[in-house]
Chain A
Amino acid sequence: MSCRSCRDSLGLTMASASLAPPPAKSASGAGTGLTIERLTKIYPNGVRANDGISLRVDAGEIFGLLGPNGAGKSTLVQQVIGLLKPTAGSIQLGRFDLVDDPDAARQLCSYLPQAPVPIDALRLREAIELSGLIRTPARRARREDVRRRADELIDALQLREWERMVGTRLSGGVRRLVGFAMAAIQPGALTILDEPTNDVDPLRRRLLWDRVRALSDAGVAVLLVTHNVIEAEKSVDRLAVIDNGRVIAEGTPSSLKSSERGRLRLQVMLAPGVETPPMPGFVERHLRSSHTLLAVIPEAAAADGIEWAQRLLGDGIAEEYALGATTLEDVYIRMTGRVADGDGTG
């Protein structure tokens, strides 16, 4: 579990001041987290997109879904939000059964889809405010509150300069942020974010992750789908690696990396056009992805690794190298057998 109260006492919830305390504390309604049990989805053409997936996202927790293209991540979240109907299994949010009641799903969860949000003719600010209005229960919707919350988000994500611009004129990255704001303005009990940082510039990515953390601090459960292993490592509390419709690993980033304890990652950038050089004996595993060679070596062989890399440099086979701690990406590669999709930056 995560240590929300510790963060609270450090005043880290200042940014989320205007979100009311989570109903989780009142132990009613939808505030006690998402439970998915043995979820299976078989498409009419026979494709088994999800195969017996079980996982749990607590209120106030950021849970990451990691996996290659076609692993079934988007299928999973589409079943949670009610766009798809599961073939088998259950999805429970607090006391609400989301499979039986997709209407409740839409009202209790907010969603940022992978596709661009349809705000072509809407101005940035309009889209966020209107989304807030639509997503807030009728009896408690007040324009001033929505407006204030929209202001907060616009400032926090540094979108002020595009406030009055219509959707068609916004860049892909800004549009993504607007989509995020449209969900975050009234996050519900569960916020589902499908690739939230696609196309977003590095500075604003940090701002976005801050907002996501603010949501979880306010008690919202966050379910995050991402390709970006390196970002995931820094931002999620727990994660699950999904491949071929199944969960193949689950835990906190540290617990997953513990399987790699005692090892280092040697990354070598090869010169264009060269064949993969023969691996010295101390290399436990390696993977070549176009010009990058990723080798995992035991800590004890650090000096040997550097010497080997320097020899490759001298022979003109490599252009540069780096030696460092193993990352989540190495765990990911070991489990899925492939490099994570996406730009890997951040």
Chain B
Amino acid sequence: MDAGAAADGSLAARAEPGAGPSHWLHGYAAMVRWHLLSLRLWAPAATAIEILSGVGMVYGIGLLAPHLSARGALYATTGPAIVALILLGLILGPQLVAQEKMAGRYEYTLTMPVPRSAAAFAWYTVTLLIGLPAAAVTIAAGVVRFGVSLSVSAQLVPALLLGTFAITMLGYALAHAVSKPMATMLITQVLVFVAFGYAPINFPSSQMPHWLVEINRALPFLPMATVVRAGLTRGLVTGVWVSYLVLAAWALGSAWLALRALGRRG
């Protein structure tokens, strides 16, 4: 009768919910696949947008501020890649979720039997895969355009990983914790706007009013820029350890908010 049952024990109905690291890893790997396949249409476009925005920013800054000092040039070279990553983490993810919500498909992903933290980490992984190569291209473009030389150090790795994590989790939290999709899109676009123009990422903080710089020390953008720049230059930035702390705080806070929102029931 059940001829295939013995050979096919793996498809027995679940008698117990899964738990433990193997369950988490399984869910994580499956969600990475799910996201990559679902983004099949959009991942190449997202990468292209990332590169275009990054490189576009580099050359655009060159037009806005034609006479850059050596210091200014270093900022203009390293800044755009960071803003591009912020654009990716804060806009792309939330926009995709907002899209799903508006089309009424969001509910389905909430019913998938994957631990919430694994799903979040899978999303972060996909963001890295799309964002890091584009960031590299952007920095290269800056070097070409402004003729600066960078001193890359090992610090760059944790800086990029943590920075991207913080931004991605913030985007994730905004996408899931804010119930109205239009509100999410609005907030994230405002944030990117702030990151582009009201955070001293693409230009030195001396060009901004002091009080604005102080506010930025508490937001995630300036700390992220500081730690990444510390991995790309020597002696340009200060306050690196404090920046790591602030960034970590944002990362954990956003992740907590996002997971709590995902687990909440109406």
Which residues of A pack against B, CB within 8 Å? 8, 11, 13-14, 17-23, 26, 28-31, 81-85, 96, 101-104, 106-108, 111, 113, 115-122, 126, 130, 133-142, 145-146, 148-149, 166, 186-189, 218-220
For A101, list chain B residues within 8 Å (CB).
Answer: 17
Tell me if B105 and A21 are in contact (CB < 8 A). Answer: no
Tell me if B11 and A18 are in contact (CB < 8 A). Answer: yes
For B207, list chain A residues within 8 Å (CB).
Answer: none
A120 to B34 alpha-carbon distance, docked (Å): 12
Tell me if A140 and B12 are in contact (CB < 8 A). Answer: yes
Tell me if B111 and A106 are in contact (CB < 8 A). Answer: yes
User: How many whole Å from B173's CB to the nearest CB in chain A?
Assistant: 19
Tell me if A115 and B105 are in contact (CB < 8 A). Answer: yes
- What's the A-B contact tally at a CB cutoff of 8 Å? 163
Most chain A C-beta atoms within 10 Å of own C-beta, residue among B2, B23, B105, B113: B113
For B25, list chain A residues within 8 Å (CB).
Answer: 138
The contact of A20 among B11, B109, B266, by CB within 8 Å, is B11
For B265, list chain A residues within 8 Å (CB).
Answer: 82-85, 102
**Quick one: closest A residue to B25, CB to CB?**
A138
Tell me if A29 and B23 are in contact (CB < 8 A). Answer: no
For A137, list chain B residues within 8 Å (CB).
Answer: 14, 16, 18, 23, 26
A14 to B108 alpha-carbon distance, docked (Å): 31
A187 to B108 alpha-carbon distance, docked (Å): 15
Tell me if B2 and A13 are in contact (CB < 8 A). Answer: yes
Tell me if A139 and B22 are in contact (CB < 8 A). Answer: yes
Task: Give a binary string over B5-33; 1 marks a CB under 8 Å from any A CB, 0 the rest.
Answer: 10011111111111000110111001101
**Quick one: closest A residue to B18, CB to CB?**
A137
A50 to B213 alpha-carbon distance, docked (Å): 53
Tell me if A120 and B14 are in contact (CB < 8 A). Answer: no
Tell me if B37 and A17 are in contact (CB < 8 A). Answer: no
Most chain A C-beta atoms within 10 Å of own C-beta, residue among B9, B16, B103, B111: B111
Inter-chain pairs besides A116-B103, A116-B105, A138-B18, 10 sampled, C-beta below 8 Å? A20-B8, A23-B13, A83-B265, A117-B108, A118-B38, A120-B41, A121-B37, A188-B14, A189-B14, A189-B15
Most chain A C-beta atoms within 10 Å of own C-beta, residue among B14, B22, B110, B112: B14
Tell me if B38 and A134 are in contact (CB < 8 A). Answer: no
Given contacts A17-B3, A20-B2, A83-B111, A136 and B105 within 8 Å (CB-CB): no
A82 to B266 alpha-carbon distance, docked (Å): 9
Tell me if B109 and A121 are in contact (CB < 8 A). Answer: no
For A140, list chain B residues within 8 Å (CB).
Answer: 9-12
* B window 89-115: CB within 8 A of A: 100, 103-115
Tell me if A31 and B15 are in contact (CB < 8 A). Answer: yes
For A29, list chain B residues within 8 Å (CB).
Answer: 14-16
A-B CB contact pairs (8 Å), 14 listed:
A19-B11, A23-B15, A83-B110, A83-B111, A84-B265, A85-B266, A102-B263, A111-B111, A118-B105, A118-B109, A121-B41, A126-B37, A137-B18, A187-B13
